[in-house]
Amino acid sequence: MTELRTDGYQIVASYHDADLVIVNTCGFIDSAVQESLEAIGEALNENGKVIVTGCLGAKEDQIREVHPKVLAITGPHSYEQMLAHVHHYVPKPQHNPFFSLVPQQGIKLTPKHYAYLKI
């Protein structure tokens, strides 16, 4: 998120306002895999331009079997590849000097007291 924001991309609140949707997935627990596949399907239905990343991305064949229209798939810890795909499908916006004000700790989607836990 931080790299995208630093590059000038904005986070928007709806599929329809987005030029592209990035779905971060989990691939360890069967229910999480199903939830990830459903999220990919929803993003494709609502927007049509989807990049998949995260643990399930390591199983590209499984994703492509269900969702062949996904633009690109990257595995875990492949943020540089994911950024390259974003730059390919949505060119970098013009430089804005205010983006150098992005905090060093990065952009977070949740407050500090939040943590995701799947049991």
Residue 52, in any domain of the structure: yes
Residue 118, in any domain of the structure: no
Residue 90, in any domain of the structure: yes
Residue span of the structural domain in which 56 resides:
2-101
Residue 12, in any domain of the structure: yes
Residue 89, in any domain of the structure: yes
**Terminal CA-to-CA distance of the chain, rounded, Å?**
25
Q: What is the pLDDT of residues 20-74, one digit of tens each?
A: 999 999 888 899 999 999 999 999 999 999 999 999 999 999 999 999 999 999 9
Helices (H) and strands (E) in the chain, counts: 4, 3
Number of domains in the chain: 1
Residue 114, in any domain of the structure: no
* Sign of the alpha-carbon dihedral angle for 42, 85, 106, 14: negative
Q: For the whole model, what pTM was predicted?
A: 0.78
Residue 44, in any domain of the structure: yes
Residue 39, in any domain of the structure: yes
